[in-house]
């Protein structure tokens, strides 16, 4: 898997906020090319342990090769990080010192045409991160009711032309199934008036994002992964999440703020009766973003947003 390409974003910031230390147990929920995992293992040497998750078999194989020198300090798991709690329970691990979720699609997945994530290459309309999963983007495009398809594109892609795009898709698929990425791109370009095309954003960007999120249940996985990750943290343990669009960042922000909130009783009550206490301390008032230097060398880091908490 030497050709697996993925440049990890915000590497120094991840280590600064995760603060790995020797003897700690850390979860990397999104191994990818194992760039962050290598940094965590180096920072937690000589005996820190890492449990790495990835549902993409290609990513897991590449990570296994890169992390082989760390030997028994590494455990690889071919599952979605949403199954973190169950998996660690099976391993007899009750608490961890930190977790990292670097969510979204990897550079390798985007650049590998056959995976169908990119609107730049002609390929089967797939978009599955886990190739063992049943539902592909083509399945959604060709089987969802027009109204449901419009809802997916609008809510997950934040696409203002969602209703019109769904209508054009419904019309085209009556003639023949939409089976490739460029077939779908052609439909989207026909649906969005050229005068409304954005200068720096391909017209298919938001629709492809929406379908990818739906195919992989990315937002549901993030919500569960964050909740379970925080529960597993020991006192002083830290959780770090990197997101790449507003929907993911909103989930991270609201989840962390909610967990950091104490009493939720109405102000008019003389004393607290809810008993709720803060579970974490938010370490990032605003999301941490890439420096100009990093963006110059890795343009995909431009949209990265890092948030972090500490268990209290």
Beta strands at 233-243 and 96-102: parallel, antiparallel or unpaired:
parallel
Cβ contact 18:309 at 8 Å: no
Q: Where are the domains of the chain?
A: 11-108+218-311, 132-216
pLDDT, position 1: 47
pLDDT digit string, tens, across residues 72-111: 999 999 999 999 999 999 999 999 999 999 997 777 777 7
pLDDT digit string, tens, across residues 267-306: 888 888 888 899 999 999 999 999 999 999 999 899 999 9
pLDDT, position 239: 98
Q: What CATH number matches the domain at 11-108+218-311, 3.30.420.40, 3.40.50.300, 3.40.50.150, 3.60.21.10?
A: 3.40.50.150
| Cα four-point dihedral sign 238, 240, 246, 248 | negative
Superfamily in which the 132-216 domain is placed by CATH: Putative methyltransferase TM0872, insert domain (1.10.150.170)
Q: Can you give the pTM of this predicted structure?
A: 0.91
Res. 144 pLDDT band, cuts 50 70 90? very high
Give the pair of three-digit tokens for residue 299: 């343009």
Distance CA 87, CA 80 (A): 10
Beta strands at 96-102 and 280-282: parallel, antiparallel or unpaired:
unpaired
Cβ contact 63:34 at 8 Å: yes
Distance CA 21, CA 33 (A): 22
Nearest residue to 259 via CA among 274, 240, 277: 277
What is the number of other CB atoms lying within 10 angstroms of the CB of residue 216?
Answer: 21
């Amino acid at each position: 898997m030497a050709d697996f390409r993925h440049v990890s974003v915000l590497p120094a910031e991840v280590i600064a906020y995760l603060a790995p230390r020797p003897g700690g147990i850390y979860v990397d929920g999104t191994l990818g090319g194992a760039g962050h995992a290598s940094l965590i293992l180096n920072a937690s040497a000589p005996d820190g342990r890492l449990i790495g998750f990835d549902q993409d078999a290609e990513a897991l194989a590449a990570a296994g090769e890169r992390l082989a020198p760390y030997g028994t300090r590494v455990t690889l798991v071919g599952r979605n990080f949403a199954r973190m709690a169950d998996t660690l329970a099976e391993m007899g691990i009750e608490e961890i010192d930190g977790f990292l979720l670097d969510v979204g699609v990897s550079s390798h997945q985007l650049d590998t045409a056959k995976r169908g994530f990119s609107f730049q290459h002609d390929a089967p309309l797939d978009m599955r991160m886990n190739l063992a999963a049943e539902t592909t983007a083509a399945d959604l495009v060709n089987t969802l009711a027009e109204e449901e398809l419009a809802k997916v594109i609008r809510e997950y892609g934040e696409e203002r032309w969602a209703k019109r795009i769904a209508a054009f898709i419904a019309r085209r698929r009556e003639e023949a199934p939409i089976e490739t990425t460029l077939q779908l791109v052609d439909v989207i370009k026909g649906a969005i008036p050229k005068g409304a095309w954005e200068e720096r954003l391909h017209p298919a960007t938001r629709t492809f994002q929406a379908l990818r999120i739906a195919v992989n249940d990315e937002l549901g996985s993030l919500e569960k992964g964050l909740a379970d990750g925080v529960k597993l943290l020991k006192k002083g343990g830290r959780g770090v999440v990197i997101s790449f669009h507003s929907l993911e960042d909103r989930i991270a922000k609201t989840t962390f703020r909610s967990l950091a909130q104490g009493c939720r009783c109405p102000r008019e009550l003389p004393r607290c009766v809810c008993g709720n206490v803060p579970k974490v301390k938010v370490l990032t008032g605003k999301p941490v973003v890439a420096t100009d230097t990093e963006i110059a060398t890795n343009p995909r880091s431009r949209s990265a947003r890092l948030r972090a908490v500490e268990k209290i």
